[in-house]
Structure 1
Amino acid sequence: MGNATPYFYGAIAPSWLFLPGHGAKPFFFHRHTVPKAPFPPTPPVPKGSRDMVICPQCIQANPSENRFCQYCGTPLTVPCPQCEAPVRLQQDQCDICQTWLNQPLQALVLDGSIDLFQSRETLDEEGRYHLADPPEIRAQTFPWLKVMDTAPDASSYLEETLQQETEAFHRLEATDKAKISDPQLWVDMGIPAIARHYLSLQDSFSTFPKLYDAWIRPDHQILLFEHRQDLLIPLEAYCEAETPLLEQLLQWCFQMVQLWRELVPIQCCRTLLEPTNLYLDEDQSLVVEQLLNDDPENPPALEQLPQLWQTLFSLGEQSEWQPLYALTETAQEGSFNTVSRLKKALRDLAPEGIAELLTPGELEAVELQPEDVMTLDDLPLAADLNPEELALDIEGLDESSTSEDGPAYPLDIENSEGNIASADFQSFTFPEEEEASTVVLPMNLVSLEDAGLTDIGQERDHNEDYFGIRTKIEKQENLLGRQIQGRGLYVVCDGMGGHAAGEVASAMAVETIQDFFQEHWGETLPDEAMIHEGIIKANDVLYRINVRNSRSGSGRMGTTLVLLLVQDNQLAIAHVGDSRIYRVSRKWNLEQVTVDHEVGQREIHRGVDPDLAYGRPDAYQLTQALGPRENSFVEPDINFIHVNEDCLFLLCSDGLSDNDLIEETWKESLLPLLSSRANLEEGVRELIALGNKHNGHDNITAVVVRLRVRPNLGLQ
């Protein structure tokens, strides 16, 4: 049984998945192919074999003590990720240390009773989702239930249903686009109506839980999310136990205002007004437990947010909070009745030198509009405005924005049914916003993690790969509660030269690089000249040994090199040869940030057609390496990266990257490692196993580095 949890991201979403409404985003799927059955069946368990282990290869029942299938020889156990004890394939937990083999999920039961689930072993009739807690615990946590997915690699009912309805959605897109967001359409598909809102928000905002599966039954509805409750702190409880800094409060307030704008068109603003629905994640960023629908008869107004802040944060108790307290008093009088005005008021309270507050982890830049430009934020967000009031309450339009024929930006009042939250925000266009300047916020490093592993492969008798990891991390108190100063030096080398020469070359190169930067790395990230000097030093050491030992031609030892230097959120990347560095992020997806130094790439650079360039018999021959030639022939590529979003970097030898293995498998093997909950050491082990399974002809080395950043809210 696999232990990878599928997420709704990775593949390119068809256009109809952009649900109508301001701020709506596409949602994505984990796989491209989907089985036809609503719930892909798990292997059938023969009668009398409840304590047997079912072989995933031949679907035969084996005695529970068997470690290998007695019919086909397939392993019937997997190592526990915590204690490495063997665990039977059908087990959810390790018998030794009680570790869950798969991450548990959270089920939210809508319109159902706890009595439906007290005597059941599974959440669904098909038996895929096992209830993890005993009945007495379920009664305490209901309507939330902890479950385990017994088929984590199979498609979910939600995923398959949406794939099956693709053609129908395409027809609606062409004939009746608004119908796509009709709640009854989703109910008719057997999916809770509110699921569409999670799908449209979750890949752009980590504030909302990720939807894993969803379905409707006659007596209840189910929303299934990835489990994260164990990592969250209730915001109320935190504020009672701690005394947040003013800047920390401003951050949470600003994040709520940003989210308010996204929740208005889907009529879920109540999500932010229930204190028990607000939590903090491990970085003390705001998250919500679930989306809560607004009362259509009495929709909330923006002024209720400042009112919540007063009571939730007890603003009147601390003298240093008085500026924010005064703002909330003014806001409740209606002075800040638009999102942009309230955001500006919060920015004005921010410490000097901070141009903008920003929701952590969502965006790396924010567009700032001049005061005289009307934006979407300036639309009144009190959902109880009638059409006449709404038409008269648009401020900020100058004479150039109107004409004899009426406003240049007409509101679709006729279709809004008197409720701005039901209007189609995508119909508004504001050319001025497109020309607004973009300010990149200063970012702080909040987490620097890494893991590395090398393997001999399936066909070699010795390992010529070598890697090195050196990090220095200093934690310090900051306004987000978790800020570090981090420095990392990561090197991967793939040696060559026959016999023991290759492994000597790779090891000496790594050690020379490490010693050089230990001596020369000062207070800031090394510049291009210093990095070049360090690489040339490594080449010189190897070249002198080759000359001293009278080695020539292919007998000379040498090595490739990829080098990653990290100083907080500033990075330097350098390489010689065909070992690679990849970057994975939400914005960039997968990006190869090095270009192989080989004949094929050289010819492409000269303008040769790629097919012709790689049709040459010497296409994969290296054009550069450390060691074989004197220093003047070594020209490392050196580049610099400023990290403004969470990123994962992979340094690897060609034993892993050959045959486009990374390009074909990154969504399953690398993308999940972006999550702070993912274990990097386990992820590296799985990468090595993947390389051995699909390549295996060479040594395999992988080093992964995960950087997580947040906006700088400290004094500059």
Structure 2
Amino acid sequence: MNRVERRPSRYKPYLWVIGTDIETLPVDELVGQRYRVVGSRIWLDTQPDQRPAVPDSFSQEALPYLKAHPHRLHVPGLYGVLERTGAPPILLLENAPIHPQAGELLPELAAGVLGAPPLRQANWLWQLWELWGTLGELGLARSLLEPGNLRVDGWRLRLVELWPDGEPPTLAELAELWRSLLSPLHLAVSEPLRSLVNRLDADAVDRDTLALELNQILLRQAATTTSRIALAGATAQGPTQPRNEDACWPQGTPSDAAQGFQIAMVCDGVGGHDGGEVASQLAVQALQIQLPVLLAETQNESQVLPPQVIGQQLEAVIRIVNELISFQNDSHGRVGHQRMGTTLVMAVVIPQRVQTDDGWGRVNEVYLAHVGDSRAYWITPDYCHPLTVDDDIAGREVVACRQTWPVAQERSDAGALTQALGTRSGDYLQPHIQRFVFDETGILLLCSDGLSDNYRIEDAWANYIGLIIKDIVTLDSAVASWIELANQKNGHDNTAVVLMQHKLLVPSQAGAETPVGAAAFQETAMPAGAKLYGENLPHEEVVPTPVDSQPPRGVPRWVLAVSGSALLVGLLGWWLLAGRSPEPPEPEPTPPVAPAP
């Protein structure tokens, strides 16, 4: 995992530029014999293989972009700094909301909501609220109050710049932004939002209630659509490795019996001798025991569980796995680099029942958890969005404001992990938990660094996604193709890949303006002879209507009933009875590779 990643030489990033007296620069002018002006405050780096210039110390204006590095899904990062004589330095921002081919800023949020489906509108509003809390902790919440600073990239909300708060902004200022968006919103979204805004004006709602009601707006819209989820996964030893320390779930396509709980996970073991293999297998097996218990309890709940509660419970499950691996290390006297551990990236589909105008509907929320440098990507025919940020030395140096991201990636220890499951006590573990409500058809790809190294996914995703979305190849064949790519182009490590296909089903009558219940949905037309992923899945479970309706609760009964210590004792007993070292999996035959487009 110590690697120096290199982008493809043809990659030339568009940069957002911050500085004085730069708007008047003519198009096509070359700044510093390197950066070509392509538009107002948008430059193209013509020499991406060369290290961008950076100062010995960073100005106050540059620090926010370094501290916000873990939130790259929504915010830009510092690429470089151009020093000027007698003038403030120029900041160059990468990962800005600029179209990668057109070189233009993506649409503003206010323009994006016009004509967007109600579910996507509600999704943007929820992301805005989450960023309000996240950036507020960094003293950057004011960045959300300027409409022109908010851009939309498909389903996700992105920021052009970051602005320090000075005085912390108030909820009343956020309500004023929401008020400006009410007119183009769909009635199903604007009416409950208008009620919230009015109550904020009257100081009649607190932050917790506000979060619960915004979540209800999102889930009610999600309940008016339905989707089908299919899974497939595999691991490979790689052409140069003596053993396979990667593990995943599922292996292949899950059987009908295993489809009841939709879970995807990838683990990449670390540690001396066979420790990495043991740790990754142990983590997958332990999670397979715990997660169905959690999912079964959520299905029995008659009330919507807020994201914070589910996130806390998932974090507790991950901590139990950490303690289980740590216990094995202690019992074998492993210390230092001999201690085994594993990375984890995991997607768990949480089904919830939601009251809508048409009755009770079902929503599939996807919770993504990760520790270490195994990654998750959301891929559609239009874009590939990295959803996770690695826990490594390079990222640590950026957050500490010591180096920019491009410079930190050149370190010889850039890919060394800063945390993994089992290597240390749970007191030092900080799992990352995210919640997604996908509003489009796409693929959630989970993988170890055997595939993601050297930007293989960012460079090749367009060659694969169309075949999957159009049902030209099966998920198993697509997984085999990704593994073949890893073996041919990287080849220095084991590889694990799991694909979770999210297929959004559409109404039988296109153009219906009112929400359509799940019973009125049908599959989109498939190409002749194409295999439908998940076609062997059981029919959608009929959700019983609860006897009564109550407001959302803070902590449900199962959170109190499920004891982490009891689970840990049970898992330890199971592990000791089953044997301290799981048998390594039998080598699988080389799977067929999907045809190249």
Could you say which TM-score interval applies, normalised by the shorter chain? 0.3 to 0.5
Q: Which has the larger radius of gyration?
A: 1
The answer to which structure, 1 or 2, has the higher relative contact order (CA under 8 A, 6+ apart) is 2
Normalised by the length of structure 1, the TM-score is 0.37
Normalised by the length of structure 2, the TM-score is 0.44
